[in-house]
Every structure is written in C-alpha cells, then in structure tokens.
Amino acid sequence: MLNIIQAQKNKFYDIPAGLVHGLGTPNHANIKVLEVQQSSDITYRLFDYKRLDKNNKYREIHVGKSLKCVKEIEYISGGISKNHLYFENKYYSCEVVKKSKKVEKHGWAIVFEHNEYFAFELSKGEITPEQTVFYVSWK
C-alpha cells in the first residue's frame, strides 16, 4: 500500500533505498530536493508521468523489478532543532547553516547562489562558503 505524504514547509524527509516515492506537487508547490545517494546506473520505475527520454520515447517502466526491490519502510521526517541539526541517521547528518563556519567533518556544503543550488565538497577544518544553507556530513 502507498501512503500520500503532504510535504510541509521546513521539514526534511529521508527516503531510504527501497521506499517507493514520487515527487508530486499540488498547486505547483515549491519543493526542493537534495538527493544524496550512491552512484548507480539502476533506477526502476513503477510509473513515470509519461516523461520522454533523449530520443523522444517514453521512458521504460520496470514494474516487476521494482516490486522485487520494494521494502516496507516508514519514512522519517525532521525539522530544525536548537543546535541547527536538521536530520541525522546512521549514515549522515544534515544541519542548517546560518553563517560561515569551520567544518568538523568531511562533507558537502549546499550553497544557494544566483537562484541556484550548488554542492561543494569540504574537508575537516575548511570554511563553508557564505551562501551555505545546509551542510551534509558522513558518519
């Protein structure tokens, strides 16, 4: 069974591998997606909103393969805490950055500049760029 989750402002939704998901936006809501994942050539689609590939053909649907990979997982959401930690699991943590700071762990600074998002890899001890909004570090 699939559940519909209404995205809420200033919330974070962790979507682990095997959790069926889609990004519909009622009333064309402004939803930002930060996709942190392992590099992979494999994506199985149950449905694809009639999107076309680079050859102007409908993208392939993989219902059988998709269903074999589906796991019963509950999604977890998070919000801003007093220490600016936005979300944390056993793999990574994501924190809100209000001003430039020295990072304590290797990770990625998510920067919003010129109306676009960029990711910069930083090593321990480096300083986040001024326009950093999130910092994602691995455990």
Any idea where the domains of the chain sit in the sequence? 80-138
pLDDT at residue 49, as a whole number: 80
Q: Give yes or no for a contact between 110 and 135, defined as CB atoms under 8 angstroms apart.
A: yes
- Predicted confidence (pLDDT) at residue 56 exceeds the cutoff of 90: yes
CA 35 to chain centroid, in Å, comes to 3
CA distance linking residue 139 with residue 133, whole number of Å: 20
What gap in Å lies between CA 4 and CA 125, rounded to an integer? 41
* 8 A C-beta contact, residue 76 and residue 5: no
Whether pLDDT at 52 is above 80: yes
The residues that are catalytic are: 45
CB neighbours of residue 2 within 10 Å? 9
Lowest mean pLDDT among 59-63, 73-77, 78-82: 78-82
Q: Considering only 16-20, 59-63, 94-98, which range has the smallest mean pLDDT?
A: 16-20
Nearest-CA neighbor of 22 among 52, 44, 54, 42?
44
Residue 77 CA neighbour count, 13 Å, CB half: 9
Q: pTM, whole model, 2 decimals?
A: 0.61
Q: Provide the terminal-to-terminal Cα distance of the chain, rounded to the nearest Å.
A: 32
What percentage of the chain reaches a pLDDT higher than 70?
81
Q: What is the pLDDT of residues 80-121, one digit of tens each?
A: 555 567 788 888 888 888 889 999 999 999 998 888 888 899
- Of all residues in the chain, the percent with pLDDT exceeding 90 is 20
